[in-house]
Chain A
């Protein structure tokens, strides 16, 4: 069997059984939806509605701005109450500009045009996907259309759909594969058309036999020889983009490159399902599957949630809190973000909420000095040396951080999980990245400035030479005449 992890990784307790006992259910539209305009990676969307406007479910309320951005649609029907800054569950609690909509209870909706993907050429299909506000639903929320555009430029690309949901607690992709396998595969076929790809592999971890069975069943019905299913062993972080790509192709994504450099494009299974819903039913990305779990909640399960619903509503749907929480996490227990409060909206990135009691969390004591045991480099799936990076991050030695591959860190947290000195390594690396990114950007800009300077010099020289040549010509003709 192919392994996703050639080095490092951890075997962790999945904690996924409780949330997958019952089928998912669609929860009622909230009384008020809070929709941040920057809930995707890239430039924020710009508002297309005014305060007091009446909006329908599925109506465009934020337009994508710039190359990497995503549009936003209303998840409920009602009136725009405000366009103001509100706290959001990302950005470390700093507020973002949100469109706040009051539900009028009418549930009236507007659907996009139903599109047969075969009638569109890849470029037009890409534009249509962009109009649906589709972003990567694995957690990073990278807008899908620009990703596809980059993939279209690569020759002979293959598609990978990531269903290897490796992080503890999260089971929304598992549930989606069990219940909406047809949508996922329909999305796969649409994406194959958009990329003109000849191969598509759906990667599923072997701790999700029900999901795999459902997907295989749907695949038999679909009968498309381009699509295949690959089962990989359950090792955290087998579901990382790079790890999944290695499992399928046996190749590594270059350190400074993108998956398309080795002819691969990787998307989450949820993204594929969202694309199928948008094309076949005209429903833009206005709801998503969210796992609500943890020992601190009475009924764990998967909920189909309208975006903008308050997290406290989800907890209420799940029978409320049980016991006093140690932490409320968005995401899993390894890479999740700790939320300061539950009065925050569900966004496109919200795959899971863990209401964690102290027993749910990996015990963490007081940080002690590094003893250079090397456990972290044994555990690192990206083949880095976290103990060295830790050293250089402490002294802010950007040159050494770059040379030791800080940008290749996927922030999976394996290093601090195994650290006997309880050093929060992944957090340190996350904090160190912005300064290094700034430096790399400055270098890139200096390179471009130099190119422009040199081409300008060459241009001035050329113009001068042309002028001289013309002058000489003129002089010659004058002497010839004279």
Chain B
């Protein structure tokens, strides 16, 4: 009897430890997968995927709770990369989550109309708007990801999205 109890409890301990180890390696794998998916996302942090940012969306994909076609800023190219990475069937971006734009856009503040309420500064997920309370605000165009999150909170409706012309590269390649 005593031997049986000892054997059973020893087996229990060993198996519990093995199970715990397995679980931690599974969570580690999920973390690594999240990181890889996150690297493929455009980091606009716009939340159009219904998650609060790119990383939470990546985590949801890794857990199998979100589909790969929920990112309009990334467009079909990102959906394709995710399909390749995860071994899934590629599919176009679901229009339910937003329109895929060819030309990227940045926020533009109509500065004379700005009342300096700081609401857009608080809404900006990437700290691309500068300004202070009761002072004019402005968008650092080079750092704006075009997430549109600042447009709705503006109480005087002075923010609009504008297309950027040609992309400014660090220096132009002289050869033509």
* Chain A residues engaging chain B, CB cutoff 8 angstroms: 41-42, 68, 90-93, 140-142, 335, 337, 349, 411, 430, 433-434, 437-438, 441-442, 445-450, 452-453, 455-456
Minimal Cβ-Cβ distance residue in B for A69: B171
Is A433 within 8 A of B173, CB to CB? yes
Interface check B116, CB cutoff 8 A: no
Give Cα distance in the complex from A430 to B172, angstroms. Answer: 13
Is B174 within 8 A of A437, CB to CB? no
B137-172 interface with A by 8 A CB criterion: 143, 145, 167, 169-172
Q: A447-B43, A448-B143, A450-B54 are in contact. Are A335 and B171 (CB under 8 A)?
A: no
Contacts between chains A and B (CB distance < 8 A), count: 62
Is B169 within 8 A of A438, CB to CB? yes
Is B127 within 8 A of A142, CB to CB? no
Interface check B6, CB cutoff 8 A: no
Count residues of B near A (Cβ-Cβ below 8 Å): 23
Proximity string of chain B (108-140) to chain A, C-beta cutoff 8 Å, 1 when within and 0 when not: 000000000000000001111000000000000
Please give, as numbers and ranges, the residues of chain A lying within 8 Å of B45 by CB-CB distance. Answer: 449, 453
Is A449 within 8 A of B143, CB to CB? yes
Is A91 within 8 A of B176, CB to CB? yes
Q: A448-B143, A449-B44 are in contact. Are A411 and B175 (CB under 8 A)?
A: yes
Choose among A349, A433, A456 the residue that contacts B126 (Cβ–Cβ < 8 A).
Answer: A456
CB B173 to nearest CB in A, in angstroms, measures: 7
Interface check B53, CB cutoff 8 A: yes
CB A89 to nearest CB in B, in angstroms, measures: 9
* Chain B residues engaging chain A, CB cutoff 8 angstroms: 38, 41-45, 53-54, 125-128, 143, 145, 167, 169-176
Q: A446-B43, A449-B44 are in contact. Are A41 and B125 (CB under 8 A)?
A: no
Choose among B38, B42, B171 the residue that contacts A142 (Cβ–Cβ < 8 A).
Answer: B171
Please give, as numbers and ranges, the residues of chain A lying within 8 Å of B143 by CB-CB distance. Answer: 448-449, 452
Give Cα distance in the complex from A336 to B41, angstroms. Answer: 40
Please give, as numbers and ranges, the residues of chain A lying within 8 Å of B54 by CB-CB distance. Answer: 450, 453
Is A90 within 8 A of B176, CB to CB? yes
Q: A449-B45, A453-B43 are in contact. Are A42 and B175 (CB under 8 A)?
A: no
Minimal Cβ-Cβ distance residue in A for B73: A446
Is A337 within 8 A of B126, CB to CB? no
Please give, as numbers and ranges, the residues of chain B lying within 8 Å of A433 by CB-CB distance. Answer: 173
Sample of 10 more A-B contacts, CB < 8 Å, known A68-B170, A449-B43: A91-B176, A337-B176, A430-B173, A434-B173, A437-B169, A441-B170, A446-B42, A449-B44, A449-B45, A450-B38
Is A41 within 8 A of B126, CB to CB? no
CB A477 to nearest CB in B, in angstroms, measures: 30
Most buried by A among B41, B43, B54: B43
Choose among B43, B169, B172 the residue that contacts A450 (Cβ–Cβ < 8 A).
Answer: B43
Please give, as numbers and ranges, the residues of chain A lying within 8 Å of B42 by CB-CB distance. Answer: 442, 446
Give Cα distance in the complex from A397 to B59, angstroms. Answer: 28
Please give, as numbers and ranges, the residues of chain B lying within 8 Å of A446 by CB-CB distance. Answer: 41-43
Is A349 within 8 A of B171, CB to CB? no
Is A456 within 8 A of B125, CB to CB? yes
Give Cα distance in the complex from A456 to B170, angstroms. Answer: 26
Choose among A68, A442, A449, A450 the residue that contacts B171 (Cβ–Cβ < 8 A).
Answer: A68
Please give, as numbers and ranges, the residues of chain B lying within 8 Å of A434 by CB-CB distance. Answer: 173
Minimal Cβ-Cβ distance residue in A for B40: A446
Minimal Cβ-Cβ distance residue in B for A93: B176
Is A349 within 8 A of B43, CB to CB? no
Minimal Cβ-Cβ distance residue in A for B176: A92
Minimal Cβ-Cβ distance residue in B for A459: B127
Q: A448-B143, A452-B143 are in contact. Are A337 and B43 (CB under 8 A)?
A: no
Is A453 within 8 A of B125, CB to CB? yes
Minimal Cβ-Cβ distance residue in A for B41: A446
Is A449 within 8 A of B176, CB to CB? no
Minimal Cβ-Cβ distance residue in B for A444: B170
CB A275 to nearest CB in B, in angstroms, measures: 21
CB B41 to nearest CB in A, in angstroms, measures: 8
Is A335 within 8 A of B175, CB to CB? yes
CB B163 to nearest CB in A, in angstroms, measures: 15
